[in-house]
Amino acid sequence: MKPIAAQLYTLRDYIQNFQDIETTFKRLKTMGYNEVQFSGAKITDAKELKRIADATGIHIICTHIPYDDMKNDLKKVIADHQTLNCLCAGIGGMPTEYHNAEGFHTFAKEFDQIAKELKKEGLGATYHNHRFEFEKFDGEKTGMDILLEEGDTYTFMADTYWIQSGGGDVVDWIYKLRGRIQMIHFKDMMIQNNEQLYAEVMEGNLNWKGILDACENTGIEYYIVEQDVCQRDPFESLEISLRNLKNA
Distance CA 103, CA 93 (A): 13
Q: What is the DSSP string of 42-71?
A: --S-HHHHHHHHHHHT-EEEEE---HHHHH
Closest CA to 132 of 106, 97, 89: 97
Query: pLDDT for 26-81, tens place per residue?
Result: 999 999 999 999 999 999 999 999 999 999 999 999 999 999 999 999 999 999 99
Average pLDDT over residues 183-189: 98
Predicted pLDDT of residue 138: 80
Average pLDDT across the chain, whole number: 97
Distance CA 58, CA 242 (A): 16
| DSSP H or E stretch at residue 189 | strand 188-192
Query: pLDDT for 87-117, tens place per residue?
Result: 999 999 999 999 999 999 999 999 999 999 9
pLDDT band of 140, cuts 50, 70, 90 = confident
pLDDT at 139 over 90: no
Distance CA 89, CA 183 (A): 12
